[in-house]
Structure 1
Amino acid sequence: MEILEADLVDLGISQAKQVLLIGDGAEWIWIHIPPLLARLGCPVETYQLFDFYHVTENLKAFADAAFNE
């Protein structure tokens, strides 16, 4: 998280109008994002997007568990 924070500061995230963060959906990462963004003074328009590969991987695991014969 320290590296991400330093990179966001270097990019001038507090000056951005919008922010889009793309990740794999791992809970251990995403629980830290809102506090980090608030600490850095990020804009109100901040979006979090899960990448397609990991979403489909998790949906397949769910479908296998839910609809297993």
Structure 2
Amino acid sequence: MLGGHSLKATSLVARIHKEFNVDIPLKEIFKTPTILEIASYIEDSKESLYQSIQRAGDMDYYPMSSVQ
């Protein structure tokens, strides 16, 4: 294996959320590896509206988070 599967799965989860308004846990992608199973999961899930992160306005300085 070359790796990178979790990164691809994370991108898939984000795209599904954006396109279908369904939030699928990452572990579910690995448990349901076929398109048919993922489609079934999407149909059986309740809607979870996708909200993108808004761009910060232009500022000279930006506050740091506690992690930074």
Task: Name the TM tier (shorter chain).
Answer: under 0.3
**Which has more helix, going by share of residues?**
1
Query: TM-score, structure 2 length as denominator?
Result: 0.27
Structure with bigger gyration radius: 2
Q: TM-score, normalised by structure 1?
A: 0.27
Higher relative contact order by CA 8 Å / sep ≥ 6: 1 or 2? 1
More strand by share: 1
